[in-house]
Homo-oligomer: A and B are copies of this chain.
Amino acid sequence: MAADFAFELEAVRGNARAGLLTTPHGVVRTPGFMPVATQAAVKLLTPEELASTGTRLLVANTYHLHLRPGAEVIAAAGGLHRFMSWPYALLTDSGGFQVHSLAARREVDDDGVTFRSHLDGAPLRLTPEIATRLQEELGADLIMAFDYCTSYPTGREEAVRAVELTTAWARRCREAHRHPSQRLLGIVQGAVFRDLRERSAAELLPLGFFGYAIGGLSVGEDASQTAEYAAFTTSLLPAEKIRYLMGVGRPEDLTAAIEAGVDLFDCVVPTREGRHGTALTAAGRLNVRQAALKTEGGPLEEGCSCYTCRHFSRAYLRHLVLAGEHLAGRLLSLHNLHFLQEFVASLRREIVEENN
Query: Residues of A with Cβ closer than 8 Å to B?
Result: 39-41, 43-48, 68-69, 73, 76-78, 83-85, 294-295, 297, 307, 311-313, 315-316, 318-320, 322-323, 325-327, 329-331
Which residue in B40, B69, B307, B325 is a CB contact (below 8 Å) of A43?
A: B325
Structural contact, B307 and A68, CB atoms closer than 8 A: no
Structural contact, A294 and B77, CB atoms closer than 8 A: no
Structural contact, A307 and B41, CB atoms closer than 8 A: no
A318 to B77, CA, bound (A): 13
Residues A69 and B312 in contact in the complex (CB < 8 Å), given A327-B43, A327-B45: no
* A291: min CB distance to chain B, Å: 11
A326: chain B residues within 8 A (beta carbon): 43-44, 326, 329-330
A84: chain B residues within 8 A (beta carbon): 316
A330: chain B residues within 8 A (beta carbon): 44, 326, 330
A145 to B53, CA, bound (A): 45
A85 to B313, CA, bound (A): 9
Q: Can you report 30 residue pairs joining A to B where beta carbons are below 8 Å apart?
A: A39-B319, A39-B320, A39-B323, A40-B316, A40-B320, A41-B327, A43-B325, A43-B326, A43-B327, A44-B326, A44-B330, A46-B307, A46-B311, A46-B327, A47-B311, A68-B319, A69-B294, A69-B318, A69-B322, A73-B294, A76-B295, A77-B313, A77-B316, A83-B315, A83-B319, A84-B316, A85-B312, A85-B316, A326-B326, A330-B330
A85: chain B residues within 8 A (beta carbon): 311-312, 316
Structural contact, A83 and B313, CB atoms closer than 8 A: yes
A323: chain B residues within 8 A (beta carbon): 39, 41, 68-69
A313 to B330, CA, bound (A): 22
**6 tightest A-B contacts by CB?**
A85-B311, A69-B319, A39-B323, A41-B325, A41-B327, A76-B295
A69: chain B residues within 8 A (beta carbon): 294, 315, 318-319, 322-323
Q: Whose C-beta in chain B lies nearest to the C-beta of A320?
A: B41
Q: Whose C-beta in chain B lies nearest to the C-beta of A295?
A: B76
A58 to B192, CA, bound (A): 57
Structural contact, B327 and A44, CB atoms closer than 8 A: yes
A297 to B83, CA, bound (A): 9
A311: chain B residues within 8 A (beta carbon): 46-48, 85
Residues A48 and B307 in contact in the complex (CB < 8 Å), given A295-B73, A313-B77: yes
Q: Whose C-beta in chain B lies nearest to the C-beta of A325?
A: B41
* A332: min CB distance to chain B, Å: 13
- With most chain B CB atoms within 10 A of its CB, the pick from A44, A323, A330 is A323
* A33: min CB distance to chain B, Å: 20
A319: chain B residues within 8 A (beta carbon): 39-40, 68-69, 73, 83
* A270: min CB distance to chain B, Å: 16
A254 to B258, CA, bound (A): 58
A44: chain B residues within 8 A (beta carbon): 44, 326-327, 330
A48: chain B residues within 8 A (beta carbon): 307, 311
Q: Whose C-beta in chain B lies nearest to the C-beta of A312?
A: B85
- With most chain B CB atoms within 10 A of its CB, the pick from A85, A295, A319 is A319
Residues A325 and B294 in contact in the complex (CB < 8 Å), given A312-B85, A315-B77, A315-B83: no
A329: chain B residues within 8 A (beta carbon): 326
Structural contact, A322 and B68, CB atoms closer than 8 A: yes
Q: Whose C-beta in chain B lies nearest to the C-beta of A70?
A: B294
